[in-house]
Amino acid sequence: MRPRIALVTLAFAAGFAARSGPAAAYVRTVTSAGVATAWKAPCVTMEFSLGGPPPELDADGYLSAAQSAGAAWSQASLDGVARCSNVIFTVESVSNVAGPVGMDYHNRLIFRQNEWCRDPPPTNPNEARCYDPSALAITSVFQLKNTGEILDADMEVNATDFTWGDFAVHPEQFAYNTHDFQGAVTHEFGHVIGLDHVCYSPGAIRADGSPVPRPVDDKGNPAPNCGATNNPPSIAQATMYVSVSSPSAEVELRSLSPDDVQAACAIYPFTTNFVCQPPSTVSTGGGCSYAARSEHASSACALVLLAMATLIRRRR
């Protein structure tokens, strides 16, 4: 029987809170069957399309920022010295200007510069072709529905409605529609390894119109509402918060909070004899650090979470 593969798409938006305070807990992405997602072996190579990068950085600047974002997760440490996770992120430059999101055995990192829309377009006429313009970036994760094993992840960055810079080196680049690239990619890489936002947006619905249940954190507590005035500081402090509201907050996303570190190290605990393996569906090829894709079955459940300030909704 062909395995059922679910697609989860999560978006990151400019929004309403900065980071501060101690960590609280983390939230994992789950499939429609309620199974938490994770890579069998968390060795993820992202192919970064840099054939024609947008301003404000050049190709080398974008590549360095993405590699640093990956290193934040690869070097996660509970004591500030020793690695505590087997996560290994690799980011490689490729000459493409863009590329498709789909099951082609490549994890892609793509700028959408001409239009903030899906490529290829959806085959279902009821599904929207273009994304919400308030989403800074969208990560699509393909996983086995019944086991939660992640097989693939693609990241799209909105360079149609926003420009991207380096606020740490060039704070003068900050403008209304400019954002810190490294901070945003660090957040999105959290989605790549199976983490969800640490808060919940009321009103989220599934494609069939049913409500998306409020997620629970690793301690079994319901996730608080995003943007709630009574949120503890630790919620807005996490890299996996749903949005940011200032240049300093965006730069702080580059450094994992204790909450984010605990997530990476609890889900993928460090072992000295760790060996990268291809996902379960790969029978040939792939390489130790590449994630595999498999064409998703027609019965798969497509879950799309669009973070739009205080709203998350399912895209049809």
Q: Is 28 helix (H, G, I), strand (E, B) or coil?
A: strand
Show the tokens assigned to 256: 């994992």
Mean local confidence (pLDDT), 199-224: 79
Question: How high is the mean pLDDT of the chain?
Answer: 79
Show the tokens assigned to 177: 């529609």
pLDDT digits (tens, 9 = 90+) for 145-159: 899 999 999 999 999
The CA distance from 5 to 212, in Å, is 19
Which run of H or E residues covers position 136? strand 135-144
In the prediction, which pLDDT does 152 show?
Answer: 93
| CA 41 vs CA 26, 77, 83, 86, 231: distances in Å | 20, 19, 16, 8, 34
Show the tokens assigned to 60: 């080398």
The CA distance from 281 to 261, in Å, is 29
Q: Is 305 helix (H, G, I), strand (E, B) or coil?
A: strand
Mean local confidence (pLDDT), 189-193: 97
Does the pLDDT at position 294 exceed 70? Answer: no
Mean local confidence (pLDDT), 183-193: 96
Does the pLDDT at position 232 exceed 60? Answer: yes
In the prediction, which pLDDT does 126 show?
Answer: 77
Higher pLDDT, 46 or 126: 46
The CA distance from 77 to 296, in Å, is 35
pLDDT digits (tens, 9 = 90+) for 31-72: 888 899 999 999 999 999 999 999 999 999 999 999 999 999
Topology of domain 5-313, per CATH? Collagenase (Catalytic Domain) (3.40.390)
In the prediction, which pLDDT does 65 show?
Answer: 97
pLDDT class for 4, splitting at 50, 70, 90?
Answer: low
pLDDT digits (tens, 9 = 90+) for 81-123: 999 999 999 999 999 999 899 877 789 999 999 999 999 998 8
